[in-house]
Structure 1
Amino acid sequence: MEAADGNQDSSEETKQTAASFKAYLMKNNTKNNLNLYDHLTRLLIKLMDERPQDVVDVFEDMSHDVKRGLFEQKQSTLRDLQQTTAAELLAEQQRQLFARSEEADQEDELVDTPFPNVNEIGFYLEQAGVGLGREEMQRIFLALKQLVESQSLQRCRFWGKILGTQSSYIVAEAEYREGEEEEEQSTEDAGEEEEREAVTQENEVDTLPQSTFKSPPVVPKEAIGSGANKFVYYVCNEAGLPWVRLPSVTPAQITVSRQIRKFFTGKLDNPIVSYPPFPGNEANYLRAQIARISAGTQVSPQGFFQAGEEEGDEEDETPRDSYEANPDFEGMPVVEMAESLSTWVHHVQHILQQGRCTWVNLAVKQEEETHDEEEAEDREEEPDEPEPEIGPPLLTPLSQDAEMFNTPPWSSKISSALTSQHAIAALRSNLWPGAYAYACGKKFENIYVGWGLKYAGEGFSPHVPPLPQKEYPSGPEITEALDPSLEEEQALKEALEVQEAAQEEMEESDEEEEDDD
């Protein structure tokens, strides 16, 4: 019995010794946070997997290899490559703007540049209290130069910047080149032919009865280079990114754009979800808004432009859409331009309710189309001739602009009242927030920096709800009483009988007194 107790004590001591020895082996090193127990475990696993010959001779080398394998990933002194950010990618693309071509190293010829000095425009706009900053204006200046060189444009100017929810649009206005009309017309004709072929194929397959409803005639688009399509517009999200040419605008797009309000996202192919449905994507909606803003806010000092002379159009009642610079213009006093709106005029045609700058008679075209179909039928009533819509003529003073929502259409000021001889006259549109113009001597410029939306009046503020009505007064006439019990009814009946008996006694006593009298 004593021997068994001794064996049990020795086994417990052995277990304690083994546990303490294992704890000693598992003690981590203070330098590399490793322990001998894990190292021996990995070494034995490596020996069992590889089973080399002369294990005693290569044991130290294998131990060294196991240690080295743990630090191979940490021995590299090279830093991890950082991910390229969006700002770095944009800077790499804008780097091309500052590259100087070999042709530019030669002597520059003294020729008229096709684009204005954007830095000078930015300087004057800073005095008017508006602008994009000197760095961004410089990048836009170089981007316009790149656009002119790549597209071989005759004239180009910085129209403005339209803000968006995800990215913005930098807009450049340019004149049409010769041959662009034919290219765009050919693409439109090809699209119309495909639509006609698709319609004819559907009619051949579908044998159901056709509807006799005729949709109203479509207002034709203005010719390229005239009216709302007088200029071509290029846009890009940031200076240095590729320029994209916007399509020409149609009257239907202008008409629907007047009925909806949508913020821009910065993606030209983004669909426009609205009611009424907009005929196109964001690129078409952007082009329609640019046409509306230009027609309402492009102004110039009175006398800077004069109506262009056109042969054979002296008796034509339609408003002229051409003008030319007046060589005799000497400028106007800045103080006078800042005080009076009559010194400013519109030099872009007004867009009519039809969606065009020049009115077109749709009844005549509709009669020509239906003339062949209705030759055999007698017309009892002839349709009334529609009255032509005539807008304000070109070079109309700003003083004739109408107010909206009790808000004056324009606000004018002088940049500095202390040094008026060196100040500029600044003009701000209240109907199109973000549209500005300035004039100084013989120089003037227009710019737009905004969300591309027209002023729609103050926000709707609902009326305060009335105070809640008071509770009805409680009383026997209104408050509903509980049904009495049988005992209560009997008690009430007895009380009424006692009251009636007392009343009868009083009446009899009164009668006896009268008889005695």
Structure 2
Amino acid sequence: EREHGPYQPHEPGYGLYQPGYSPYDDQIPDPKSRMLAIQNAKAYLLRSSTTSGLNLYDHLANMLTKILDEQPTNAVDIIENISKDVKWAQFRKKMDTLRDEHEILPTFEAAEKCKALFLNANGEGHEELEEEIGETPLPNVMETAFYFEQAGIGLSKDESYHIFLALKKLISVQPIQTCRFWGKILGLEMNYIIAEVQYPEGEEEEETEEEEVIEEGGKGMGEVEDEDEKKDKEDELPKSTYKPPPVIPKEENGTGANKYVYFVCNEPGKPWVKLPPVTPAQIVCARKIKKFFTGRLDAPVVSFPPFPGNEANYLRAQIARISAGTQVSPIGFYQFAEEEGDEEEEGGEGRDTYEENPDFQPLPVAEMVDSLSTWVHHGQSILKQGRCVWLNPFQKSEEEEEEEEEEEEEEKAEEPDELQQETGPPLLTPLSEDEGIQDIPAWTAQPSTNLIPQYAVAILQSNRWPGAYAFASGKKFDNIYFGWGHKYSPENHSPALPPPVQAEYPEGPEIAEARDPTLEEELAFKAAREEALAAAEEEEDEEDAEDDEEEEDD
């Protein structure tokens, strides 16, 4: 091969090998300055281009890597082409406006939300976790789902397990005594997963006190505003004589329709939200309307008659109605306490508590399917008043009676007749006494399978509340609901009509419109009037004549 001749002065390699040009001939350079020069040179090579964003250091490294990998012949002759190929490989085309960007799949988002359910926050061993699960009131959702699955009822196994983990998280956060998976109510935008829990006695009292304090504070502000308005008004407006009906108070926490507390969430992994207690007015109004749920608790409920609350209150009212009519159990599983039984025989009043029967003997599946008398209601029914226990709204306390002794006589005349006390079916009433819906029975009982009857499960389906189911297998039973939260109606729902228009003022003869007289009646009236005037004039003339005669005699 031909060797390179001596470098010319204008060439970069000129003087490197000439005597006197090498730095090692006369002196040894400082290592620090040499490292600094190397760093400066490397920093220069790493400087990115303002147009392409590439730097010379990476470009040369990629070129050498490509040459060593491919090992082309005469690489020095095609070094320019190799440089172009490396640049083209690093070129990134901008996304076209017609091409959609990469979207995150909803399954990935759902997995991110459920990831927290699978994390062990405590970090304890398996043995300690098993002990905790045995002590806590965590329901076995997977076992319940297995029995309902025999009849084709329920959710997927993945969703059931996610709900299982969500209930475990709820129990770890809230001081809960009992917990149960109530069911799932469908919505137009999102669904509601509902957990039925019960607090210890002390926790319920504290929450009730907080609610009362908030209500009292609100009343105080209203009174101050009323006083200011009265001062601003110079002319007193006429007072209305209308007296609104008395407000029926809600049942206390732990009793009646508020016996249980309900938590809801849209999906497992999202935070649980506690529903407020239900009031009788909300239950009464919920019976008159029929609205689909949206999945947003703060959504307004636009209806007639107007509903007193938002979707959270409407959801709570529907849960109370469904629970009152569909919470059933095999006969004999629950029993009344002996003390309460004696009181029942003496007083004859309904009982609202029960306990499990330790001597319960389950009936065979064939008997539970053949007759509805083998199932009973263990939930209190809701009266027309909106409460489970009737309350007289006109009954006053002893203090009010002492203060209003003087006004009692006047009020007695205005007060309506005494209301008749409402009574509902007692607890543990057989389902055979439930009224049907026209020609449709209230309940339908059937086995989970007819092919293997010895391993079948008794399944009960409500026709009044579509979506409510119950199962019984041996000493195990449970209730669940999957539906839209609406009651079955054989006819289309017709909203309530508005009330009749009220009279603006009392009617009487003073404001009554008279009929216009006919022509004959007018002529007869004029003739009679003229005769009366003529008779009156004659009488006056006679009186004047008599007076004149008396004066002449005097």
Give 1:154 shift.
1.7
Partner of 1:197: 221
Deviations 1:317-371 (A, max 9, x none): 4321111110000211100001100000000000000000000011213997587
Give 1:400 shift.
0.2
Partner of 1:9: none
Partner of 1:56: none
- Equivalences, count: 396
Amino acid at match of 1:422: Y
Q: Output the CA distance in 1 between the equivalents of 2:428 and 2:131.
A: 36
SS at match of 2:395: helix
Amino acid at match of 1:323: Y
Give 1:460 shift.
8.4
Identify if the C-alpha distance between structure 1 residues 457 and 97 changes in structure 2 by more than 3 Å, giving closer, same or farther. Answer: same
| Unaligned residue ranges in structure 1 (runs of 5+) | 1-41, 43-63, 462-517
SS at match of 2:335: strand
Give 1:96 shift.
1.1
**From 371, 375, 391, the counterpart of 1:344:** 375
**From 88, 93, 99, the counterpart of 2:113:** 93
Taking structure 2 as the reference length, the TM-score comes to 0.66
Identify if the C-alpha distance between structure 1 residues 189 and 267 changes in structure 2 by more than 3 Å, giving closer, same or farther. Answer: same
Partner of 2:365: 334
Alignment of 1:102 with 2:123, yes or no, is yes
Amino acid at match of 2:271: P
Alignment of 1:405 with 2:438, yes or no, is yes
Higher mean C-alpha deviation, range 202-211 or range 355-364: 202-211
Amino acid at match of 2:180: R
Q: Is the 8 A contact 1:128 1:438 kept in 2?
A: no
Identify if the C-alpha distance between structure 1 residues 316 and 247 changes in structure 2 by more than 3 Å, giving closer, same or farther. Answer: farther
SS at match of 1:234: strand
Amino acid at match of 2:353: S
Q: Output the CA distance in 1 between the equivalents of 2:259 and 2:292.
A: 25
Q: Percent identity?
A: 54
SS at match of 1:205: helix
Partner of 2:322: 293
| Unaligned residue ranges in structure 2 (runs of 5+) | 1-50, 52-82, 495-554
Deviations 1:121-157 (A, max 9, x none): 1111011221111111111111111111111312111
Partner of 2:183: 160
Identify if the C-alpha distance between structure 1 residues 141 and 368 changes in structure 2 by more than 3 Å, giving closer, same or farther. Answer: same
Amino acid at match of 1:285: Y
Q: Is the 8 A contact 2:175 2:199 kept in 1?
A: no
Partner of 2:163: 140
Q: Output the CA distance in 2 between the equivalents of 1:392 and 1:319.
A: 9
Q: Output the CA distance in 2 between the equivalents of 1:103 and 1:87.
A: 30
Matches within 5 A, 1:165-176: 165-176=188-199
Partner of 2:464: 431
Give 1:403 shift.
1.3
SS at match of 1:446: strand
- Taking only aligned residues, the RMSD between alpha carbons, in angstroms, comes to 3.1
Amino acid at match of 1:99: L
Alignment of 1:179 with 2:192, yes or no, is no
Q: Output the CA distance in 2 between the equivalents of 1:460 and 1:375.
A: 49
Partner of 2:483: 450
SS at match of 1:394: coil
Identify if the C-alpha distance between structure 1 residues 176 and 460 changes in structure 2 by more than 3 Å, giving closer, same or farther. Answer: closer
Matches within 5 A, 1:364-443: 364-365=395-396, 372=403, 375-376=406-407, 378-379=409-410, 381=413, 383-443=416-476
SS at match of 1:375: coil
Higher mean C-alpha deviation, range 314-323 or range 357-366: 314-323
Alignment of 1:273 with 2:305, yes or no, is no
Amino acid at match of 1:98: F
SS at match of 1:128: coil
Amino acid at match of 2:225: Q
Give 1:419 shift.
2.1
Q: Output the CA distance in 1 between the equivalents of 2:385 and 2:476.
A: 34
Identify if the C-alpha distance between structure 1 residues 245 and 415 changes in structure 2 by more than 3 Å, giving closer, same or farther. Answer: same
Alignment of 1:230 with 2:259, yes or no, is yes
Matches within 5 A, 1:242-281: 242-281=271-310
Q: Output the CA distance in 2 between the equivalents of 1:184 and 1:421.
A: 50
